[in-house]
Amino acid sequence: MKILVCISNVPDTTSKINFTDGDTKFDTNGVQFVINPNDEFGLTRAMWFKEKQGATVHVVSVGGPTIDPTIRKALAIGADEAIRINAEPTDGFFVAQQLAEVVKNGDYNLVIAGRESIDYNGGMVPGILAALLDMNFVNTCISLEIDGENATAQREIDGGKETLSTSLPLVIGGQKGLVQESDLKIPNMRGIMMARQKKLTVVEPVDALNATQETKFEKPAAKGAVKLVDASNVDELISLLHNEAKVI
C-alpha cells in the first residue's frame, strides 16, 4: 500500500497573531510554525500502517522553502519521502489542484489529509481533492482500518458516529480519533539524523485556478471588562444580569 499524507504548515496555537499592510497580510514575524494537528493525526495513523502492514508513506505540502523544517519533521517522524510543491497556498481550490497532480503521478492507494487546517479552517481541500481524482471520500474520519483493497472507516456525525465500508483508492479527511494525542510521535535524534538523508523533491506548480482572494483580516473584538459582585449582594447581581447583560 502506498500512502500520501498531505500536511499544512500552520502557526502554533500559542503564537501571537498580527496583520500588516492595512490588515491585508498575515505577519509571520516571530511566529512558530508546526504541522497542522489534524494532519499530524493522519501522519501518525499512516505510520501505523507502515509498521503493521509494510506501507510506504510519502508526505506532500504546498509552500515555499520556509516550510522545509515542517516537512523534515514529518520525515523525522518516519515518512519515507517528501514532496514540496513550490507555490504559496493562497486558496483551497488551488491547493487541491496541486495535490491532485501529485496523486495522479504517484499511484497512491490512500490519501490522508486533515479535515481542515487550524489557520483558515476552510475544510475544503480533502473533498475537492477526492472530487478531482474521482476517488472514494470519507470526511471527519476518526477510525480507519485497511484489509487488502477494502477499508472500514468511522466518521463523526451530529450526535454520534457512522461506520462505513469502502474500497481503495480512498481519500480521507482525518482528525483526532484516527489516533489519540498520546499516540503522536516525537522525533528522536536518530529520526532527525535519518531525515537529513531522505528524499525531499521540490516540484513546480501546475497552472491552476485561484477561486478566492483574501481582501482583509480582522481580529475578534476584545473581551469586555469584568464586573465583580460580592457573593452576598444577590440584589446587585440580579440587577446587572437583568439591566446590563439582559439575560434575565
E-strand stretches of 128-194: 136-147, 150-157, 160-167, 170-174
Give the chain's radius of gyration (CA, Å). 22
Q: What is the pLDDT of residues 164-223, one digit of tens each?
A: 999 999 999 999 999 999 999 888 888 999 898 999 999 999 999 888 888 899 888 888
Residue 14 CB neighbour total at 10 angstroms: 8
**Whole-number pLDDT of residue 14:** 86
For the domain covering 2-221, report its CATH number.
3.40.50.620
Euclidean distance between CA atoms 33 and 67, whole angstroms: 8
At residue 242, φ and ψ (nearest 5 deg) are -85, -45
DSSP 149: T
pLDDT, position 90: 85
With H, G, I as helix, E, B as strand and everything else as coil, classify residue 173.
strand
Which residue has cell 462505513?
Answer: 164
Torsion of CA 38, 41, 46, 51, to 10 degrees: 170
Cell triple for 241:
444580569
pLDDT at 220: 85
Q: List the domain boundaries for the chain.
A: 2-221
Specify whether the backbone of 189 is left (phi greater than 0), alpha (psi in -120 to 50) or beta.
alpha
Cis peptide before 205 (omega within 30 of 0): no
Helix (H) / strand (E) element for 56: namely strand 56-62
**Type of residue found at 137:** F
CA pair distance 30, 25, nearest whole angstrom: 15
Residue 87 is predicted with a pLDDT of: 95
What is the structure's pLDDT at 247? Answer: 86
Nearby residues of 179 by Cβ (< 8 Å), 6 or more positions away = 41, 44, 45, 48
Which stretches does DSSP call E strand in 63-149? 81-85, 110-114, 136-147
Cβ atoms 131, 155 nearer than 8 A: no
What's residue 176's pLDDT? Answer: 94
Angstrom distance (rounded) from CA 195 to CA 127: 30
Tell me the CB-side half-sphere exposure of residue 212, using CA atoms within 13 A. Answer: 12
The tens place of each residue's pLDDT in the chain, 248 residues long, gives: 999 999 999 999 888 889 999 888 888 888 899 999 999 999 999 999 999 999 999 999 999 999 999 999 999 999 999 999 999 998 999 999 999 999 999 999 999 999 999 888 889 999 999 999 999 999 999 999 999 999 999 999 998 999 999 999 999 999 999 999 999 988 888 899 989 899 999 999 999 988 888 889 988 888 878 888 898 899 999 998 998 888 88
The pTM of this model reads 0.87
Q: 209: which strand partners?
A: none
- And the C-alpha cell for 45? 495513523
